[in-house]
Structure 1
């Protein structure tokens, strides 16, 4: 559920105001649009009705004129048509009489033309048929030419295959076809088909001839070549030296010659079937060629003869048609003349009857149209009047319904926002009531830090805000147009305010009132102020100085007026912001408010920088520091309350822009405070008046009393103490580890001793910083977490023994030695006792062969060996005098610090100041790796931490400290 503080911040209020403005303006505009639209629609209806009536009247007159003109036109046309008809009858009679012969002649001509057309069509068809026949004949001859070429090639091929016998067979292929072949009578296509078969047979014969072996032999080796070889070789051998002569060679010569001739003749005989087949098929093919060519030519001639005969017959038919048409023409002319005379005799009377009947129809139609036109005009006039009434009623009804809808919208959108704003005002007044004697006397400290604090009210003027209110009485606000709403500072984003005015006066008084309200609204100590007033020197804030009597940190001691003081205070705030960002927020929390929600008792307080008369006395350095605060302060809980004198320019334009961005801006104009950048009607601000002087003093004293010790940081011991089940359950074999406080918002700060270089601790803090409390926490919590067998204490206190006396009185089982006297010699004896324990443990470890406490505890039969913790508060008392005690204490402490690590002996030294510790060897201090810095002066802050680690200087609250286990390094 949203709380009051969450809902009254300026952003939320202005958002609601914007919604109210939008709602009122939207409905007002809608209402105005409806009224304007109604008037426009009414005017439009009247204009349209008038225009429609005028148009109807004009249309009626035009219609009557048109009907009259049309009627007269129809009469004229009827008379003209009657006269034309009579004239046409006479003309038609004479024309028909004169054209009778022509019509008869036309019939004759059409008949003759039909015959001639038929003859021409037939002739054209026959010519086309003859042309096709000639084309087919030419195409056929072309194909025959191809067949002839194929036949000749086949003949050449067979003669080539039988080349050796060609002289004997050539005459078989050049002979003429037989009588039977020449007498072939078939169609050209059939003859060519037979021709193709003969050529195929001849091709087969050629292939057979090519396959004959002897014919092939003599084709490549002719007979004459064989005979030359047969005759030449024996003769050559016969004439060689040693040869037998020609006579001896003659017998073999004869044999070889005869054999060659016989072989040639055998080849001829074997070739005869092929020769006969080839010659027969080629002769048949030649005959078929001639027969096909002759038959095709004969058919073409026959067709031509038939066409000539048909043309002669058609000419005779045309002559007969001419003779018959003459007789028929004469008969038709005589009959047509008689028919015309009969028709002409009765036509004039018939034409007059038609004319009178036509006139009667025209008059009746004209009267009917006049009646219908007048009735239509009357009906349109009635409809126009009715339409006007209906439109006016519809407009009124529609506008009324929409305004009714607007009342519903007003009730659902505007009134809830108005009611919410009124409720915010009432609740804010209840939460932050006006100052009165009773309020100041009975003021009680709040428990929680508010997220928003009321400082006044914004007086809304709905009329100005929305630039006009609706006119309908139903669309009005319950309490009138003036609406007060809370004006509050919201944290963290809108917790700063910049009041711009000429001089101080009312603006500074407003700042004082705001500061007092912020003090009263925060829990004690949860708000701290820094006042800067270089012009008024604090006169307007003097009443708040009573707070310094109770808790100086509430107002940072005093009101600052000098330039150097201003720079110092701004530097401190910058350091605080730096600390918050680096130590608290880091990258885990967006604002200090989120951190405080988790931090609880260690929550960081809000800080308010109050400046009057800005920019007076602000140097360049101060302006730069103020710029940093304005940029990053809000998220760190540092807010600005500034009164700027607009008569003086801001030295840094960037600072001016940043202040305007970071602050809620209010300007004093003519005695009225106005919220800058707020819409008109929502910009008048009235700050809540401050209490009277007496009431103010009463209130400040009550706040001061409630804030005593409020700056102290306290963490309940229960947060770090063990539960009953965890008591004495902690084992210190590897490390002594115990919680000693809170770090950050959620984590516990652990004291970790015994691992690595983290063996000894050094604690520094001025009086009241919580150092002794820290020692008690360490002792008590270790005694709760660890049993006496795990840890033992050697306690030395140089403050008369008052701090550790309680452990002796209650007989703390973990305490081996408690020095309740403060003399240096007794404390030295404690160091000597620990040195003896160091030697004893060293002897035991050597016998067990152990290097450290953990390994020793693992050996069988080992003695109980708790970790020993030497705590010395105000240890610098050892070295207040340069004597033997100081020297021996320095040597013993150095030995214990250096050698105690391996034997589980650890040292924790505490002091209010480290200034007297210079007699202690720096090397010994260097071994104290764990550093705990509480609130201390700057010199001690540099000693306990390294020079480049300024964190200790930022501590401002008792109980707040820095734990560092890196020897003070960053």
Structure 2
């Protein structure tokens, strides 16, 4: 019994002790890491505070160094700001003066231009009237040319029809040339008429056609039929005479047709050229007339527009003043920007080296501060690493001791179970059927077991070590060393019955494993008067 209790108390005590040791080691680890962190934070904060103080001091010195340059710059800025409105007021006065002068000049110019326009209009009217007269002369020449063409072609009715404007309008002679000045249009009309006269002369070179112009077909037809009538009047009464008159009339018609056919085919091409040239001349006349009217209207409109624009001379004066204000305003703004830029440049020439030196010193201060903080960081990391290493070693030592202790407990428990197993078989029918009195004397009797929930206890105590098991340790009485057993209950019937049952079990175990006659029991049952042990009381009857 003592051995079992030692094992049970040993496992529970080991869990509590090692949990305390593990927590203590973890606490020391946390304390050291926290102390190292606090030291690092304190040193870093002190270093940052020192850096801030140094930077404030540097900024103060920088402000004092730049104070003179900034004051001169501010004075120039103030002067520039005062000069800007003054310049704009001066510009406004100049703009008003320009407005008055421009209006006066425009008034004089308007009067002069009005006289010049009147003269120009008279000259323009005279010039275009002259052009119209010349065009009218050309049109008259063209009409005469058309008459000449019809007269030259009296012998050909179809040729005369081709000289008509209606036929010319159906011809495809290409677009009219609208390039050049108005005199060029008139010159093209003259040239077209001249070309038409030349082509007409080429037609007149045909002798038959020229002859037919004096003796057209209707003249020859009249002469032939007149001769036939004359012949028929001289010889009246005979059929031969009438046949001769008819033959003369028919011969005249055939002669006219033959002459028309023989001479008309050769002159057809020239007639087409004459007709085309006449149409070109007509179109050139129309184009020239339209050009004269259009140009005269345009130049009249231009003169009227010039007169209308001069009516707005006050607007022009206002526009000139506005332009002066805008351009002058832009110039003033540009000079204002240049002067400000130059002022800033003058300040920067003094301030820039000071700023550069300040930036360099600030950079050095920040670098030195960062280097010191880096040293603090390395020191902190070293302390943490040392703490972690020490904790790891302590934890390894704890785990080794823990493993050795609990493994010995588990091993002793297993050995105890193995030793008690043959002496404490299970109470079942099989055992009772083959039971025989023991020939040997055994001093051990198992009466129960102790359960130690090591895993649950380790969890409650937050023990983070491996192999904390729940074990059951058998409890046995070893006589005479463990001759005294005390059962304590809560005073209820169930606890009392369990204790009495355990006592009966111990007596039966001893009787079952001991040779007969080797045991002597004295049972005192003041409450039950032997009733609690009634199952074994009859054994006293076998006592010798």
Structure with max Cα Rg: 2
Query: Normalised by the shorter chain, which TM-score bucket?
Result: 0.3 to 0.5
Normalising by structure 1, report the TM-score: 0.23
Name which structure has the greater RCO, CA cutoff 8 Å, separation 6+: 2
Query: Could you say which structure has the higher helix fraction?
Result: 2
Normalising by structure 2, report the TM-score: 0.39
